[in-house]
Amino acid sequence: MPIVNVSSEFEAKVRDALHMAQQHQDEAYRFMAVEVPVYAQMMPDQQQAVAGGCPSCTYLGLWADRWRGFPDQPHGTIWLFEDGIRKQGGHLGEKVYATLLHEFEHALGRDHVLDAIKANKALGIRPYAVRGRCCGGR
Ligand SMILES: [Zn+2]
The per-residue pLDDT for 68 is 86
CATH topology of domain 3-122: Zincin-like (3.30.2010)
Residues around ligand 1, an ion, CB closer than 5 A: 129, 135
Distance separating alpha carbons of residues 55 and 10, to the nearest angstrom: 24
Contacts of 72 (CB under 8 A, 6+ apart): 66
The per-residue pLDDT for 120 is 57
Distance separating alpha carbons of residues 65 and 25, to the nearest angstrom: 25
Average pLDDT in the 89-104 region? 93
User: From the CA of 117, how far away is ligand 1's center (Å)?
Assistant: 10
The per-residue pLDDT for 126 is 43
pLDDT, tens digit (0-9, with 9 covering 90-100), for 16-67: 999 999 999 999 999 999 999 999 999 999 999 888 888 888 899 999 988 8
Is the model's pLDDT at 113 over the cut of 80?
no
